[in-house]
Amino acid sequence: MPSIDNLAERLSTYLGSDQVNLVRRAYFYAEQAHDGQRRRSGEAYVTHPLAVASILADMHMDHQSLMAAMLHDVIEDTGIAKEALTAQFGETIAELVDGVSKLTQMNFETKAEAQAENFQKMAMAMARDIRVILVKLADRLHNMRTLDSMPHEKSRRIAKETLEIYAPIANRLGMHSMRIEFEDLGFKAMYPMRSERIRGAVRRARGNRKEIVNKIEESISHCLTREDMQGEVHGREKHLYSIYQKMRGKRRAFNEIMDVYAFRIVVDKVDTCYRVLGAVHNLYKPLPGRFKDYIAIPKANGYQSLHTTLFGMHGVPIEIQIRTREMEELANHGIAAHWLYKSAEDDQPKGSHARARQWVKGILELQQRAGNSLEFIESVKIDLFPDEVYVFTPKGRIMELPKGSTAVDFAYAVHTDVGNSCIACRINRRLAPLSEPLQSGSTVEIVTAPGARPNPAWLNFVVTGKARTHIRHALKLQRRSESVSLGERLLNKVLASFDTHLDSLPVERIQAVLDEYHMELSEDLLEEIGLGNRMAFVVARRLLTENGEQLPSHEGPLAIRGTEGLVLNYAKCCTPIPGDPIVGHLSAGKGMVVHLDTCKNISDIRHNPEKCIQLSWAKDVSGEFNVELRVELEHQRGLIALLASSVNAADGNIEKISMDERDGRVSVVQLVVSVHDRVHLARVIKKLRALKGVMRITRMRA
């Protein structure tokens, strides 16, 4: 274990003596605070903060980060308050320590909820100071290194959390070395036997491969010398977790993965990278489609390098990465490689630091829109993506998106308002479905319309956390406004039968009912009615009578316009359309479900005023409604085309079609057709009847 003297000696190579003394002072304060406390391994507790500070010292972090590392468990594990730390070490250090500390004073229902809330708190602190996450990552790394002393269940839980959250965060911040160590330690804790088997196989394979690796390395070095270029050639080892993931995800055998030989060439400047690329492409034949230029277009975490795959001697595939020394440093240590934290407010962070800030800003936006901490952490997990696609806006700006992103993800990445009002897209100037996955290099143009709203179906294909969170948020607002509107109509309908209206009721009476139901706003009560969680006539009874005596049931149907949106659903069992006699079934959480008056599924509750309400179609009803038809006709060639053209001629639209033969002569076709009302349906049926060979047309109902 390192001692404080050893650490101070290392720090003196890049920090001033005053700053080293401040770090020493933080260490002695932590030693006193943790006096008597021991780790599970039996060591004095202060060895942990010292080790965390040592990890940060390897990254050449500033003295404030090192002080926060020394003190990071003081608030959580000792009786010392944040205010005491502020008095001793100043506001900045206290804020950093508080950002890393877990929420210990609150009780959570589940471990997942506690994890989510703690991460949410850390995200807020990261937004104020990005160093919070670096201290937290170093803390987690030392905990992972000493995981053996933990009980098996707890170590598996910590390992799972590390693989799901902390390893991807390290990757997102470009900290490659830390990510690899997280993944290998997490893999070992989660699957000890699998880890050991792969480790043994790698050890054996390394011995067999040694000769080929040396030959390839030698030929690349000779090639560089011949072309008069300086560069270091290193063979790269694949780490255990990445081998395991490839074997599992791509269903490939261990030998297939180890058949690929990987090398890294480190040079002095960017110009040399491209010259080296030309040289190795002359030496061995490149594999088409496997060249990636991350120098011109860096990855989202700031990673830069040239990647190419070659056919080596005897057809052996060789993966080569070419980069400068600065890029190598940045690839391994990411945001911590050249620490750019400035005390002056006007100094703008650059490079990977700016990218990290941008990412944290995005996380904060997710946090503000998310319904709860679990939804937030789900969005963050989605956003910690390993691969990107690069697409262009119509003006030529490059946008980085996760692999598998669609035009809707792109629209929300441009701006929330663009996403919310998106109705169509053009990919490379051609109209394309919104759900089509984007390919790198495509130019994407979003078509918007004022008044357009997000579609719930988008949640089935969007990939980014930002798009998912904003769609959910917009749908919640839309659902609430529609529920409030429907709830108000239902309540006013009941009140109208007693010659009164919601607006004419005394405010005190409404407030008394709200207090009784433990609600703050009248909109909350109307939303509950619209969602079917409370019955309109029960609420009316409370509003009109002090003691809740029975009121006569209301009369006269409620008119349906077809524009009520998410809180009004049309039953799939009987598919009602305008013109049909209908009834509304109030279903808790779903709002109102419209059924045919004669539907068998609601026959038991048809006359229960608490469950059903009489409905009618408004004169200005609009929209398209699906109806199912069963057509029996003689079997003939081009049957589907005939039916489709007949429906189309009557301005109908076929949503779904299926066919089965009853015998060799008669075919039965099931059609789902969208129509405006019963008159329109009659026109469609008339057109179908005019077809030659049609024997019977039946409208399907429950």
The token pair at 69 is 């590392």
Enumerate residues 6+ apart whose C-beta is below 8 A from 289.
none
Give the strand order in the sheet containing 625-634. 653-661, 666-675, 625-634, 694-699
3-class DSSP state for residue 410? helix
From residue 397, how far is each of 297, 556, 657 by CA, in Å? 12, 59, 43
From residue 434, how far is each of 34, 334, 414, 448 by CA, in Å? 57, 35, 15, 12
DSSP string computed for 14-25: TS-HHHHHHHHH
Q: How far is it, in rounded angstroms, from Cα 193 to Cα 259?
A: 23
Q: How far is it, in rounded angstroms, from Cα 663 to Cα 634?
A: 10
3-class DSSP state for residue 262? strand
Say which of 43, 76, 293, 597 is annotated catalytic: 76
499 classed as catalytic: no
227 classed as catalytic: no
Q: How far is it, in rounded angstroms, from Cα 377 to Cα 163?
A: 14
Q: How far is it, in rounded angstroms, from Cα 608 to Cα 583?
A: 11
What is the maximum span of the chain, computed from C-alpha positions, in angstroms? 100
**429 within 8 A of 420, measured Cβ to Cβ:** no
Q: How far is it, in rounded angstroms, from Cα 162 to Cα 185?
A: 9
Q: How many CA atoms lie within 13 A of 152 on its CB side?
A: 2
Q: How far is it, in rounded angstroms, from Cα 182 to Cα 83?
A: 34
- The residues annotated as belonging to the active site are 76-77
